Amino acid sequence: MRVVSMVPSWTETLLKAGVNVVGRTRFCIHPPQKITNIPIVGGTKEVSWELVMDLKPDIVLLDQEENPLEMAEECPVPYLATHVSSLEALQKELERLGDHFRNANLLEWSASCLDIVAAPAAPWNSQKIPGFMEWVKKPSQNYEEVIYLIWKKPWMSVSSQTYIGSVLEKLGAKITHFEHDEKYPVIEVEDFKKSLFLFSSEPFPFHKKIQELQAADLEGAIVNGEAYSWFGIRSIEFLREHLNLRKEHN
C-alpha cells in the first residue's frame, strides 16, 4: 500500500514498521536515513495535491491535531485521520493502523503502549527531568507543579487534556491547573512563578533562546520536545525507558 503521510510522528513510525511511505511533509525528518528519497508534498498545514497525485497513493494519512480540517475535506484520494490526544488514544490508533496496514509491528507497538497505559506513573524528580537538555535556571526549591511551554509571544502552555499532558502525567509530573478549560492556554509566566517551567525544544526553538529565558528569571529546563510530543514509536521508546519497561511486548 502506497501511503502519503502528512503527520511527522506517523511518518517515522510507519517507516520503522516497514510501511511503504511514498510522500511526506518537510517536517517529517525521522528516521533520517529513510526519509531522504521520499518526496515532500507540503507541510502539516498546507499541501500540494498535484504533487500528492503524482505519487499515486492508495491513502493519505492525517491527524486531527496536526492537520487542518480543510486538508481532509479537499483530499482527492482516500484518507485516514487519526486523533491522538492521550496515551490511551495512541494505543487505539496504533491498533487501528496496524489492522488497516496489516502490519505486525504496529500491532506490537499498540500492545506495548497498552503496557505503558497500565503501568503506574513514575516518581517525578525535578532534578532529573526526562528528556532534559539543559538548565535555563536550576530550581532553588522542589516544585510540586510544572508548566510545559510550547510557544513564546504569546506564552503558550499545555493542559492535561493534550497528548503532551498525558505523557507528563505518566512521568509523574503534576501539571499546573489553569482556570480556563483550554488544551493550549495562553498564559502570563509572571503569574506562575510557583511552578517549574519546562521549555520544549519544539515547535518554538526555546533551546536557541536560552539567554532571553535566563534574563526573564524563570526556573526550569529545556526539554526534548520530540520525546514529549511525537506520538508513535518515539514516545513509546521514551516512556518505556523512563518507566523501566525495557522488555519488548511479545
Give the end of a domain, one of 54, 83, 112.
83
Residue 54 makes CB contacts below 8 A (sequence gap 6+) with none
Same domain assignment for residues 78 and 156: no
Whether residues 57 and 145 share a domain: the answer is no
pLDDT in the model for residue 249: 44
Q: Are residues 155 and 230 in the same domain?
A: yes
pTM over 0.75, yes/no: yes
In this predicted structure, what is the pLDDT of residue 216? 85
The total domain count for the chain is 2
Q: Do both 212 and 155 map to the same domain?
A: yes
User: How wide is the angle at C-alpha 90 spanned by C-alphas 198 and 68, nearest 5°?
Assistant: 80
| Residue 106, in any domain of the structure | no
Walk along the chain (250 residues) in steps of 10 and give the mean pLDDT of each run: 98 98 98 96 98 98 97 97 97 98 98 96 92 94 93 94 96 89 90 93 93 89 97 96 71
* pLDDT value for 247: 54
164 part of a folded domain: yes
3-state secondary structure of 20: coil
Q: Is residue 109 part of a domain?
A: no
Q: Which SS3 state, helix, strand or coil, does residue 42 take? A: strand
Task: Tell me what pLDDT residue 227 has.
Answer: 97
Which CATH number belongs to the domain containing residue 136 in this structure?
Answer: 3.40.50.1980
The answer to whether residue 77 is domain-embedded is: yes
Peptide bond into 154 cis (omega under 30): yes
Same domain, residue pair 136 and 73: no
* Same domain flag for 50 and 147: no
Are 140 and 218 spatial neighbours (Cβ–Cβ below 8 Å)? no
219/143 same-domain check: yes
Last residue of a domain, one of 83, 114, 142: 83
**Euclidean distance between CA atoms 229 and 109, whole angstroms:** 17
Looking at 51, 83, 115, the residue that finishes a domain is 83
Check if the beta carbon of residue 189 is closer than 8 Å to that of residue 218: yes
CA distance linking residue 4 with residue 87, whole number of Å = 24
Residues 49 and 140 in one domain: no
pLDDT at position 180: 73
Could you tell me if residue 137 is inside a domain?
A: yes
Closest CA to 55 of 37, 81, 32: 37
46 φψ region: left (φ > 0), alpha (ψ -120 to 50), beta (else): beta
Q: Is residue 206 part of a domain?
A: yes
| 75, three cell numbers | 483530499
108 inside domain: no
Q: Please give the radius of gyration of the chain, using alpha carbons only, rounded to the nearest integer.
A: 19
Distance CA 162, CA 215 (A): 29
- E strand or H helix that includes residue 70: helix 69-74
Q: Is residue 125 part of a domain?
A: no
Domain that holds residue 30: 3-83
